[in-house]
Amino acid sequence: MIIAVWIASGLLALANLGAGFFKLSRSKEALASSQPWTVGFSAPVIKLIGTAEVLAAIGLIVPPLTGIVPILAPLAAVGVVILQLGAIVTHLRIGERMIVPNVVILLLALFVALARFGVFGAL
């Protein structure tokens, strides 16, 4: 089980790190061409979302790896669940129906959160 949790955590961390840096490194205008949802958000909110994604990526890996404040890992996973719920709602609201990646990320994050909180037994 621990291997599955680490694999899921690694995939989540990579996805969030990439998405977060993408949002942090580009202007709102540059993002709008590939991410239509950004039109409805201000530039600071987009940067805040990107920052949350990068912090979630760090929180999923560093605390359990170092043993320092390991409770941050399941909390980071819950944060990813919340981010993905918001993403799904946003995509559906603007008429985008391609939410499968968001649902997959949400389910992976839910698995990691439950596993790290000990729902499936001690890790």
Of 113, 91, 112, the closest CA to residue 100 belongs to 91
pLDDT of residue 60: 98
Average pLDDT on 22-37 reads 94
Residue 74 burial class via C-beta count within 10 angstroms: exposed 0-12, middle 13-18, buried 19 and up: buried
Model pTM?
Answer: 0.93
CA atoms of 72 and 62, how far apart (whole Å): 9
26 against 97, higher pLDDT? 26
CA atoms of 116 and 90, how far apart (whole Å): 28
pLDDT of residue 121: 77
- 18-48 burial, b for 16+ CB within 10 Å, e for fewer? ebbeebeebebeebeeebeebeebeeeebee
pLDDT of residue 94: 93
Rg over alpha carbons for the chain, rounded to the nearest Å, is: 15
- For the cut 80, the answer to whether the pLDDT of residue 3 exceeds it is yes
CB 77 within 8 A of CB 118: no
pLDDT of residue 49: 98
- For the cut 80, the answer to whether the pLDDT of residue 122 exceeds it is no
CA atoms of 119 and 115, how far apart (whole Å): 6
User: pLDDT tens for residues 30-89?
Assistant: 999 999 999 999 999 999 999 999 999 999 999 999 999 999 999 999 999 999 999 999
**Domain assignments of the chain as residue spans, ordered by start:** 2-116
- For the cut 90, the answer to whether the pLDDT of residue 120 exceeds it is no
CA atoms of 9 and 32, how far apart (whole Å): 29
pLDDT of residue 97: 87
